[in-house]
Structure 1
């Protein structure tokens, strides 16, 4: 696999991570623009997170299939959650590690 293709996938992975973290933080994503009528529904944020998580898992799966290293883009805990593939309440609660110095996505 060429370097450009690997770089492309890592870029897409970074975008998907940002999208998921914005969804976790209840910040605006393109999902809001696609489904503006859903904002009124109580399950909206759950759907938004589900869509972002699915996108993240899809790109990780492509990375795996193409032997592109993806884990160094995430903390060990985040990599573990992704490998398990299930978006549990623990993933939602603990994605941003409390002792992590990085800020939430702006």
Structure 2
């Protein structure tokens, strides 16, 4: 198999970022379709965010291994959160830099 193209990695990274941000904003993701019975579960949104965060970290790890610069798609603070790998309450609360300039996905 040939090398991954930069465009391919960029696309996968962007998809993973959008997926995480949709989960963060409690918007519909593929996870809702995969586990519709969980929507009533009180921990559903936590699971959904965990899955999206894990996907984002996996894509970033792949980018690192292939020496593809991934951090340019994120703010400095977001890149620091990703590099620390821990999805803390701070990541959830402060992913969007300020309340005034939230760039929530549509």
The equivalent of 2:54 in structure 1 is 54
- Runs of 4+ in structure 1 over 2 Å off: 99-103
The equivalent of 2:88 in structure 1 is 88
The equivalent of 2:27 in structure 1 is 27
Alignment coverage as a number of residue pairs: 105
The equivalent of 2:42 in structure 1 is 42
What 5-or-longer segments of structure 1 have no aligned partner? Answer: none
Q: Choose 90-99 or 76-85, whichever is displaced more.
A: 90-99
For the structure 1 residues 62 and 100, does the alpha-carbon distance in structure 2 shift closer, same or farther, using more than 3 Å as the test? farther
| Displacement of 1:38 | 0.1
Q: If the length of structure 2 is used for normalisation, what is the TM-score?
A: 0.93
For the structure 1 residues 40 and 89, does the alpha-carbon distance in structure 2 shift closer, same or farther, using more than 3 Å as the test? same
* Distance in 1 of aligned mates of 2:53 and 2:88: 11
* Distance in 1 of aligned mates of 2:103 and 2:76: 17
| Displacement of 1:102 | 5.5
Aligned residue for 2:5, secondary structure, equals: helix
| Displacement of 1:62 | 0.3
| Displacement of 1:103 | 2.4
| Displacement of 1:101 | 3.5
What 5-or-longer segments of structure 2 have no aligned partner? Answer: none
Q: If the length of structure 1 is used for normalisation, what is the TM-score?
A: 0.93
Aligned residue for 1:40, secondary structure, equals: coil
